[in-house]
Structure 1
């Protein structure tokens, strides 16, 4: 029974992870109006699932790291109660953040949960040095790196676009406008309405304006090529997220010796996909619309930087947060365009600061209850 509870707890964590994280890879597709929400979440689901399956072959180091190996004694790692408390502590934290639309890090939640249960279980025997070097440093450094690299990459691409003669189109609305004209009828007590049309030429509001690129590159329309590249970069980010996050959750299942890790990864991948399809919209709108307005070129740049950083980290076993990297990349774009909403960024940063202690408290409480009431 305790092993079944552990499996369900891991699936709940995967569901919460999908709800909070799945849309992050395609946020710029939706934010730049390159596609609508339904198409964006469908693309995210397919590519995230592909990354989860790839993790079976490429991410064994992360599975070991997030089992708690090296942080606590090996005997504790084999305890189902310890793994359940980590899974539920992290899942509750991520699920609450999803409900209020805050994009937090599942990685950060897992680290907090490992810390909370680990300290309750072994006290000062907990390996605080490894916690800092292996987990916390990548989480702190990665968003800063992403912001700087995306800023520099956007400036580079902007210069390259200018050299290739690809220019932004002016956004105007041309068409006919119909107005109802009220006129007195034959009887004074009645009024009649007639429709009168006229040609109009209006400048769009900034928030309604969709910037397009005109010109050709190697004989292909620049906007079509950019949209294609944007889709590919969004797919890379989602693939990298599945590759990076799936083994972190599966690491909690290694105490179930009767369950093959491959089947564990498939179960986690399915739960993540369902969570994203059912509960991703609030976080998706926060990432897409509220950090900074962006066009397709800026969105492509942010996704490219995020995908490269997260994929590199996954292959080398570094537990970076896709959330932190993605938000950092989008904020880097907003910094260079001077359109970033600093109030939104401040709220997101506050949620990041609270993630670790909340996960630690939830996990520690659950572990204490499991030990005393089993």
Structure 2
């Protein structure tokens, strides 16, 4: 059972990398600033660095996604519960990846936690805790991303006159060369990938720790191992999701992409520090929605499809975790 659980948790990390790693680079590939290969390489490097830093910066998320307060302590110690939890979330994210939908691993984790918890405890699951810890931030964060991206872009004319050199010469770049603009855009995308690594690694680490994978004072090895699995998943499976978020939501310039990345990095890093269960997917794709709103190039049919996938993520993960628990307990 221990080996089976370890494989299920590793599968979750791999699926997370496949669906999520490229999201910080979507505006770079979509605007033509970087090729897919270069963007993927940079995304993976920065995600791995974020995973290594997550133990120091994103530790509050370990508690948020540990299941404590959601299901009784004896259930948390049940290896069948941990296995169903990991399988439900991993299968949900992987199925979304192969069907080209950018979904939230955070959403999948909450749905799987509820599904596995409901199987083993019925109505004793504290759904109100799930609502406070994750569902409310998940619902608010994409709206914030849309509004902040739109508002930051609309205010760019005023910001040009603020006497701050890095802001006027790097953020909106109207007076400098395209090369400087590309550099700022690349740095902003790198910041998003770094923030994603910091935000998602503790969530997956909490699954490993829940299943009894103990590293003691060497927990950094667990975090780096998760980062490596994310990179492998990204290399093997990320291309289809990457194409959808980069080219099928909206067209964009590098200035518009930079604006979206600044919003995404800021929101995700803030959530990591305060232990809020926001989704990098919801924030980054929400920023892309904001870009489409401001430049009037949004592909509405694609956006509607993604929104439907977001709505279905939680019940799908719930059902997959519940079904996994049925199979596991029947073995």
TM-score by length of 2: 0.93
Residue 3 of structure 1: how far off its partner (Å): 1.5
Give the alignment of 1:140-179 within 5 angstroms.
140-160=139-159
1:125 aligns with 2:83: no
Give the alignment of 1:1-374 within 5 angstroms.
2-160=1-159, 216=175, 221-254=176-209, 255-256=211-212, 258-260=214-216, 261-373=219-331
CA distance in 2 between counterparts of 1:83 and 1:298 reads 42
Any conservation in 2 of the 1:10–1:268 contact (CA below 8 Å)? no
CA distance in 2 between counterparts of 1:7 and 1:276 reads 20
- CA gap of 1:133–1:214, structure 2 versus 1, over 3 A, is closer
CA distance in 1 between counterparts of 2:8 and 2:199 reads 19
Q: Is the partner of 2:155 in helix, strand or coil?
A: helix
CA distance in 1 between counterparts of 2:268 and 2:212 reads 28
Any conservation in 1 of the 2:173–2:180 contact (CA below 8 Å)? no
CA shift digits 1:129-157 (9 cap, x unpaired): 11111110000000000000000011122
Q: Is the partner of 2:281 in helix, strand or coil?
A: helix
Structure 1 residue runs of 4+, over 6 Å off? none
CA distance in 1 between counterparts of 2:121 and 2:13 reads 27
CA distance in 1 between counterparts of 2:132 and 2:214 reads 32
Residue 24 of structure 1: how far off its partner (Å): 0.3
Aligned residue pairs, count:
320
Any conservation in 1 of the 2:173–2:181 contact (CA below 8 Å)? no
CA distance in 2 between counterparts of 1:162 and 1:62 reads 39
CA distance in 2 between counterparts of 1:318 and 1:222 reads 38
Which one has a bigger Cα radius of gyration? Answer: 1
- CA gap of 1:160–1:126, structure 2 versus 1, over 3 A, is same
- CA gap of 1:75–1:229, structure 2 versus 1, over 3 A, is same
CA distance in 1 between counterparts of 2:79 and 2:62 reads 16
CA distance in 2 between counterparts of 1:340 and 1:27 reads 15
CA distance in 2 between counterparts of 1:128 and 1:214 reads 47
Residue 25 of structure 1: how far off its partner (Å): 0.5
Q: Find the counterpart in structure 2 of residue 182 from structure 1.
A: none
Structure 2: gaps (5+ residues): 164-171
Residue 6 of structure 1: how far off its partner (Å): 1.3
Residue 270 of structure 1: how far off its partner (Å): 0.7
CA shift digits 1:295-346 (9 cap, x unpaired): 0000000000000000000000001000000111111111011111111110
CA distance in 1 between counterparts of 2:77 and 2:35 reads 45
CA distance in 2 between counterparts of 1:128 and 1:163 reads 47
Of the structure 1 ranges 149-158 and 356-365, higher mean CA displacement relative to structure 2 is found in 149-158
Residue 263 of structure 1: how far off its partner (Å): 2.3
Any conservation in 2 of the 1:97–1:104 contact (CA below 8 Å)? yes
CA distance in 1 between counterparts of 2:142 and 2:134 reads 14
Residue 160 of structure 1: how far off its partner (Å): 4.2
CA distance in 1 between counterparts of 2:173 and 2:38 reads 25
CA distance in 1 between counterparts of 2:18 and 2:301 reads 24
